[in-house]
Structure 1
């Protein structure tokens, strides 16, 4: 059985790495912190005799996956991509310059089908279901096209912010 000192040492040496993993999986800092703390709380229960870094990281990964499974599809998408324009609180964003950059990236870096889906979703404010019916594709395909577009946009902005 692990002592409180052992758990404290594990906490000090692994907390940051565990939190980073949880944030990457959840895209929600508050939930990530809760999950990491829950993993350490489970160590305090006394059921674990020894814990390694790999054990702790796997515990975080499984707890994050469990958390994600319990979220609704809409909550998952909103937490990952903040797709609803109404949730943007800053009235100054997006400004005309940002919109022009986004449109340029969409036009120059995305395939035609993905461009069309992005425009239907964000310009026409169509739902996944409406887009899938209009284009005769599945809602999963709509999601995958939008996810690809978000990844391209994220990558572009990450490369150009440095």
Structure 2
């Protein structure tokens, strides 16, 4: 275990440079101080003394590695936020607005689509039937089911596209 006096001597000699490096990498005062402190805390558990003449390199490398860990953790947290809070969901809409949009879609399905397109769309998305089951029930081929679904979806999509 390194002696307390030796760690204090290293602290006085190298703290300023270590802190500067951490600030360059992290751009945050508190995180920079924490990174440097963690390096010195690690020294207290070290069994052997640092090699003479290589103390600075060891300490600076330790700070760099701690800072890179902090940056990596920031990136992971940012990616997680993007996954769990997509920008589209950040715009919280009221229940009334969503109910109005749903009513418009239901009205569109009832008025614009042909009866067969509407039936196939509802069987597939509401009743969760597979193409094969819909084909048997409607007396058509699976390819026809696919074409009717594609046509219905395209009709709905075109209805909501902004005019060009």
TM-score, normalised by the number of residues in structure 1: 0.43
Query: Which structure's CA Rg is the greater one?
Result: 2
